[in-house]
A = this chain, B = another copy of it.
Amino acid sequence: MQQQVRVIRFAKAPASSEPCRLMVRKSSEGVGKVESRFFHYSESFPLASGGALESFDLAYEVYGELSPAKDNAILLFHALSGSQHAAGINPEVPGLGDRWTSECREGWWDLFIGPGRALDTNRYCVICANYLGGCYGSTGPSSAHPADGKPYGSRFPRVSVSDIVRSQLALLDELGIDRLHAVVGSSVGGLLALQLATDCPDRVRNVITMASSMVTSPLQHLLNFEQISAIESDPHFRHGDYYEGRHPDAGLALARRISHKTFVSIETIERRARGDIKQPEDHLSWYELNLSLESYMLHQGNKFVRRFDANTYLRIVDAWQRFDLVGESGGVDADVFKRCEDQHYLIFTIDSDVCFYPEQQSRLKLALDQAEVPNMHITVHSQKGHDSFLLEPELFTPHLAYALRS
What residues make up the interface of A, taking CB atoms closer than 8 Å to B?
154, 158, 218-219, 221-222, 225-226, 228-230, 232-235, 237, 239-240, 250-251, 254, 257-258, 261, 266, 269-270, 283-288, 290-291, 293-294, 297, 314, 318, 321-322
Cβ-closest chain B residue relative to A288: B158
Q: Are B218 and A269 in contact (CB under 8 A)?
A: yes
Q: Are A232 and B269 in contact (CB under 8 A)?
A: no
A300 CA / B148 CA spacing, docked (Å):
42
Q: Are A254 and B283 in contact (CB under 8 A)?
A: no
A257 CA / B218 CA spacing, docked (Å):
14
- Residues of chain B with a CB closer than 8 A to A232's CB: 283-287
Give the 3 A-B residue pairs with the shortest CB-CB distance, closest first.
A235-B235, A239-B285, A233-B250
Q: List 6 A-B contacts (CB under 8 A).
A: A218-B266, A219-B261, A225-B257, A229-B254, A233-B233, A258-B258
A257 CA / B228 CA spacing, docked (Å):
12
Cβ-closest chain B residue relative to A354: B219
Give the number of copies in the complex.
2
A270 to chain B, nearest CB (A): 5
- Residues of chain B with a CB closer than 8 A to A225's CB: 257, 291, 293-294, 297
- Residues of chain B with a CB closer than 8 A to A261's CB: 219, 222
- Residues of chain B with a CB closer than 8 A to A266's CB: 218-219, 222
- Residues of chain B with a CB closer than 8 A to A322's CB: 290
A154 CA / B286 CA spacing, docked (Å):
7
- Residues of chain B with a CB closer than 8 A to A294's CB: 221, 225
Q: Are A222 and B297 in contact (CB under 8 A)?
A: yes
Given the known interface contacts A285-B237, A286-B240, A318-B287, the answer about A293 and B218 at a Cβ–Cβ threshold of 8 Å is yes
- Specify which of B219, B293, B321 is in contact with A291 (CB 8 Å cutoff): B321
Q: Are A286 and B239 in contact (CB under 8 A)?
A: yes
Q: Are A233 and B218 in contact (CB under 8 A)?
A: no
Q: Are B284 and A229 in contact (CB under 8 A)?
A: yes
Q: Are A221 and B291 in contact (CB under 8 A)?
A: yes
- Residues of chain B with a CB closer than 8 A to A221's CB: 291, 293-294
A235 CA / B288 CA spacing, docked (Å):
18
Q: Are A228 and B287 in contact (CB under 8 A)?
A: yes
Cβ-closest chain B residue relative to A248: B233
Cβ-closest chain B residue relative to A253: B229
Q: Are B287 and A314 in contact (CB under 8 A)?
A: yes
Cβ-closest chain B residue relative to A317: B287
Given A222-B261, A232-B286, A233-B283, 9 new contacts (CB under 8 A): A225-B257, A229-B257, A230-B254, A232-B283, A232-B287, A233-B254, A240-B286, A286-B314, A291-B321
A377 CA / B225 CA spacing, docked (Å):
37
- Residues of chain B with a CB closer than 8 A to A291's CB: 221, 225, 321
A387 to chain B, nearest CB (A): 16
- Residues of chain B with a CB closer than 8 A to A290's CB: 321-322
Cβ-closest chain B residue relative to A294: B225
A206 CA / B249 CA spacing, docked (Å):
49
- Residues of chain B with a CB closer than 8 A to A251's CB: 233
A218 CA / B285 CA spacing, docked (Å):
23
A232 CA / B282 CA spacing, docked (Å):
11
